[in-house]
Structure 1
Amino acid sequence: MDFFCSEQKEKQLLEELNEITEKQSGQLRGRIKSGEIDMQMYQQYIEYLNQVLKSGSETDMFDIYQMCQSGAIKEATDRDVTFTGSVRDTKIIFVSEIDEMKLHKDVQLGRIQQNVCDVMDKRIGKIQSGTFDVMCRPALHKTVGIKVDGDRSQPYTYGITVLVVDGEETLVVTDCSNTCLKSIYTKNNKSRHSKLDLASNPHSVTRLGDNQVAVSFWSHNEIVMVLVTPDLVLESRVTTKKKYMGLTALSPSTLAAGCTDPPCVDILDVSGRVMRSVSTLDTEKNLICNPSFLCATDRGDILLSDAVSQSVYYITQGGDAVFTYTLTGERGLSLPRGITTTSTGHILVADYLAHKVILLTPAGKFVRDLLTSQGGLQYPYGLMFCDCKLYVGEYSGGAVKVFTCSIPQ
């Protein structure tokens, strides 16, 4: 009987080891694929540099300077170094559980323990589910309807954010036409929702913490803090001196808020106190007109889309302009709305009138149209990228379309 127990335990341990090996191998394969794409990108940079050096164009040289200032290449390199170190330190440990060599049918001979593997899992978070592929063709994963019982009119989706609460993906949206905030999630394999009525028409929603969001309004001097459990619970109301439409969290205690009258971007603490205000860029140039959609970058800077100037701005918290994206023609923006960033630092912008989502490099260079009306996209408004999925809120469609954009592993 003891020999039979030993064989069973050996088989169990081998199965556990195979499962762990396959998991780590899958992560490594995805990382290798990501590295190959990075190498292609670096090769393109080198070719571009050679062309600029030959031409002597000061404009192109300044573009290169902006790309370096954005830190896109350095961040990618740092990410690779961190991962390599994590893999090198990965170990599988067998922990013995034999007590004084007494074997019987209930004995536990040992277990497989992951120590550094767990650390690696935490460090590479987004890599586990794939890295954003610049050349991917987004596939429609699902369509989430946001119309719920009690709605007085057709929902208009403005702001979108995504949280994971108790292991469940929770979509949180502002519904301007029904003057409420909604959360949509799955529990016990059933689709559920929560609805929080608000005092005025909400505009933007941003994630403050693991289970907390902040909401701004169209024409109301207030920002509200809401707990997501995943049901919605009003936590606090903060009266502000200005009416803020655009809103993004720079940290759990700091917000960047866009005001249209007067046009500016303010840095606030969660009590509503203005710590800094930015209204002009680069010595009175490029006046901000309509900062109604904001997004924080991994560096703590601010991206904003401006429908009046038909531009995208990348600014620091101090008000310095890293770049401005303003073009006409096919690559231009007719009415930019929602803006978000990917796991690789690329920028996605919803163009409401052109029925498309465009992709920019981290340095603000046009890459391509990621989504268009040919794929069924109509009047994109809110935008959120999370875990290699792109959430697009269609203005009057009463739904959020979820697209997958990743490298298969």
Structure 2
Amino acid sequence: MATAKKLTDNHLTCVICTEVFTDPATLECNHTFCKSCLLKYTNTQPDAIQAKCIPCPSCRQPTKVTNPDSPVEEWVGQLKPSHVIQGLMDDFGPGAEAADVNNCSVCKQQGKTTPATSWCSVCDDVFCDGCLKMHNMMPMSRDHEVVDASNATKRKSKHRFMCKTHKDKQIELFCKDCRMAICHTCCSIKHRKCDDVDSLDSMTPFVREHLSNQNQELKIKMTTSENKIIFRKSQITEINSKVQNIKDDIRKSRQAVVEVILRKEKQLLDKVDRSSDEQLHALQAEIKSQEIEMQMYQQQYEFTANAVTSNCKRDMYAVYESVRVASTDIRDTDNKPAPGRVVFTHDMDKLRKAVNDLQLGEVAVVRGVSDRQSTPVLHHTIDCEADGDKEDPLLWDVTVLSVDGINVTVVADYNNNSLKTCYSSKPNTHVNQLLLSDWPSHIAKLSESQVAVSVPWSKQIVTVNVTPEPVLLSTIKTSKEYYALAYLSPSQLVAGTYGQSHSVDILDMTGKILKSINTGVIGNPDYIHVTSNNNLIVSEGRVNSLVSVTCEGEAVFTYAPTGDRALTVPWGVTTTSTGDILLVDRVSHKVIQLTESGQFVRDILTQQDGLSCPRGICLDGDGFLYVTCDPYVKVFTFVQSVHNQIT
């Protein structure tokens, strides 16, 4: 029961509906689905319907249909399950358990339901004990092989391969032209015009070997699909993490803007307080002055009133004289300017426009380079000039590391005999350099903190730790002048030299040659890149070619187009996460995109994008493309459309 459940869960379940197959159908790619699920999926793929094929929901491989003019329902209806799937369905699918407990076929014809105990391999019928005695007494069936009906494994091994058309005829032939197992009657009637018919016994080893090979291919495809699923899941995790970081950055931008507004508000409020305090102080002083004057006037008024009502002329004239003199001394205070008023002037239309024009930042849908609808946009430019440079930098190669969360661009500067690391920590950009014995050629990324650098004229390969400053770790002495360099495994490097028949060597980390590889038309490799499946991609400007070979030296493809597409000094090369190849064509000022098999896709970067004599190229983990254009590294991103500004 456990085996049956395991088979049902792992091999007899439709990946679309996640249920046990109902009327299964197997496509040319050997993936199997319920016919109803496959029909629903096909109806959602207008491109496939227009192309008259059934797309596989798992691997997207199309399956040709026998009658393209018929409705889609008939396309799917004509599909049959593979023999393996059908056999598993018969043995372990729904109803298989009940099928093991069949009723006697003879009793069944008499309307009885007697449990069967035996099965005849010739008659392919089940019998109860009583009917089995009759079966064994009959002259034509007494010699038939009979086994226990409950032993499903033995029944299957003894089951005769009978023709579905001529049910009493055993299948003993195989028509290679029609790829069908047939009986002698079928051969004489339906396959008379076929040229190649062989016996089933002679074909069985071939079929078994073919199915075994096919099973190995399926196993590889299953592993590939599993790896793709793991990769996509990691992408989902990465996207969710980046989305949260972007949201946090947007909130920080908003907070920064709010802090600026609050600061401006405080400045205005403080100015209002200062201005109003000055006015209030002046007015309070004026009131105090007026109160003093009013007291003086009050005293003078009382003194004058007493003099007027007095009968003493001397007192009256004395007051009169003093009042006249005092009147001439009183200053005219009515001409003092009125105190100013605090006024707040604002233009709401202007304010609204300023707020509407405010940009918290930009949000763009960044696509992978492999997305053929993506558009390149120059993200930023890195100036690799360092203090102490004797000449303008000439950048031969580039790679990008992630050191403690900091993206560090590493370049080989030919003119200044140095390896440089460039990184930003706000508000500054830092360029550090490690002086080498001679000019560096190529960089191989060993890890996120270490690189290897070829120094051909000194017959050296140096390893460097990036902290993010470059620190020399070791110097590997080599027997040849190696120019091109790439990372193959933790213990192996791939290096290219000039002027030898086997121009690419696989080295260990001591510089020992483990194997030499012939790269065909390329005798002087300029750049080497190792793909995700450990194939080598080698470019050479002298023969204007790009070659891909396995680590065993077997040719994969050669890209050497002619005419308008002819290469003009192909140099730097890298690959995307999907296997696409990006090739620098130096003299034509381009970066060319090829498929994994070396087919032209498009010119993704040209001189119109700001490229001028590019050399090295690499991609970082975020999909940014780095291209050296002396003395700069130009960094491009690929977006779905023009940036959507948030307002």
Residue 236 (1) aligns with residue 474 (2): yes
Q: Compared with structure 1, are the counterparts of its residues 366 and 251 closer, same or farther at alpha carbon in structure 2 (3 Å cutoff)? A: same
Match of 2:632? 399
Offset of residue 223 of structure 1: 0.3
Structure 1 SS opposite 2:473 = strand
Shift of 1:136: 1.5
Structure 1 position 190, deviation (Å): 2.4
Match status 1:166 vs 2:314: no
Q: Show structure 1 runs of 4+ deviating over 4 A.
A: 45-50, 73-80, 122-130, 406-409
Contact 2:375 2:640 in 1 (8 A): no
Distance 1:119 1:371, change over 3 A: closer
Within 5 Å, which residues of 2 pair with 1:290-301?
Answer: 290-301=524-535
Could you tell me whether the CA contact under 8 Å between 1:83 and 1:124 is conserved in 2?
no
8 Å Cα contact 2:377-2:639 kept in structure 1 = no
| Equivalent in the alignment of 1:57 | none
Q: Is the counterpart of residue 250 in structure 1 residue 488 in structure 2?
A: yes
Structure 1 residue 337: Cα displacement: 0.7
Q: Does 1:269 align with 2:513?
A: no
Paired with 2:559 and 2:402, the residues of 1 have a C-alpha distance of 33
Are 2:623 and 1:388 aligned?
Answer: yes
Paired-residue identity, %:
38
Amino acid of the residue matched to residue 227 of structure 1?
N
Structure number with higher strand proportion: 1
Residue 290 (structure 1) shift: 1.7
Runs of 5+ consecutive residues of structure 1 not aligned to the other structure: 1-35, 51-68, 87-117, 281-285
Partner of residue 544, structure 2: 310
Alignment of 1:367-378 (within 5 A): 367-378=601-612
Distance 1:83 1:185 in 2: 28
Task: Tell me if the contact between 1:243 and 1:261 (Cα under 8 Å) persists in the aligned partners.
Answer: no
2:574 aligned residue: 340
Confirm whether residue 279 of structure 1 aligns to residue 501 of structure 2: no
Matched, 1:153 2:391: yes
Contact 2:394 2:414 (C-alpha < 8 Å) held by counterparts: yes
Provide closer, same or farther for how the CA distance between residues 82 and 188 of structure 1 changes in structure 2, counting only shifts above 3 A.
same
Which amino acid is 1:276 matched to?
Answer: K
**Secondary structure at 1:140's aligned position in 2?**
strand
Q: Structure 1 stretch 305-314 or stretch 139-148: which is displaced more?
A: 305-314
Write the mapping of 1:55-66 to structure 2, written as runs, cut at 5 A.
Answer: none
- SS of the aligned residue for 1:374 comes to helix
Q: RMSD of the TM alignment (CA)?
A: 3.4
CA shift digits 1:134-177 (9 cap, x unpaired): 33121000000011111001110101010000100000000000
Instruction: Give the match's secondary structure for 1:144.
Output: strand
- The 5 A counterparts of 1:190-229 are 190-229=428-467
Q: Which amino acid aligns with 1:326?
A: A
Does the residue aligned with 1:343 lie in a helix, a strand or coil? coil
Shift of 1:220: 2.5
**Offset, 1:406:** 5.1
DSSP 3-state at the match of 1:300: coil
Partner of residue 237 from structure 2, selected from 113, 121, 134: 121
Question: C-alpha distance in 2, partners of 1:350/1:153?
Answer: 25
User: Structure 1 or 2: larger helix share?
Assistant: 2
Q: Distance in 2 between matches of 1:404 and 1:49?
A: 39
Deviation sequence 1:16-48 (CA, Å, 0-9, x none):
xxxxxxxxxxxxxxxxxxxx9xx9xx89x9789
SS of the counterpart of 1:169?
A: strand
CA-CA distance at 1:79 after TM superposition:
4.9
Alignment correspondent of 2:230:
82
Runs of 5+ in structure 2 lacking a partner?
Answer: 1-44, 49-54, 66-216, 245-365
Q: Tell me if the contact between 1:157 and 1:393 (Cα under 8 Å) persists in the aligned partners.
A: yes
Amino acid corresponding to residue 524 of structure 2 in structure 1: N
Aligned pair in 2 of structure 1 residues 74, 388: CA closer, same or farther (>3 Å)?
farther
Match of 1:62 in 2: none
Deviations 1:325-344, CA, capped at 9 Å, x for gaps:
11112222110010011121
Distance 1:290 1:145 in 2: 30
Q: In 2, are the aligned partners of 1:388 and 1:406 still within 8 Å (CA)?
A: no
Deviation track 1:298-327 (CA, whole Å, cap 9, x = no partner) reads: 112211111122111111111111111111
Worse-matched range after superposition: 316-325 or 257-266? 257-266
CA distance in 2, matches of 1:176, 1:48: 53
Answer whether contact 1:131 1:344 (CA < 8 A) is retained: no
Letter in 2 for 1:277: S
Q: 2:412·2:442 contact (CA, 8 Å) conserved in 1?
A: yes
- Comparing 238-247 with 127-136, greater Cα deviation is found at 127-136
Which gives a bigger RCO, structure 1 or 2 (Cα 8 Å, sep 6+)? Answer: 1
Q: 1:167-186 counterparts in 2 under 5 A?
A: 167-186=405-424
Give distance in 2, aligned partners of 1:49 and 1:265. Answer: 43
Match of 1:138, SS state, is strand
Larger Rg: 2
> Which residue number in structure 2 is paired with residue 33 of structure 1?
none
Amino acid at match of 2:549: I
Q: Aligned AA for 2:518?
A: S
Question: TM-score, with normalisation over the residues of structure 2?
Answer: 0.44
Between 329-338 and 356-365, report the one with greater CA deviation: 329-338
CA contact (8 A) 2:367 2:374 kept: no
Deviation at 1:239, TM superposition (A): 0.5
Question: In the aligned structure 1, how far is the partner of 2:565 from the partner of 2:226?
Answer: 31
Note if contact 1:200-1:220 (Cα within 8 Å) is conserved in structure 2.
Answer: yes
- The alpha carbon displacement at 1:261 in A equals 3.0
TM-score normalised by structure 1 residue count: 0.69
Tell me, yes or no, if the aligned pair for 2:493 and 2:508 is still in contact at 8 Å.
yes
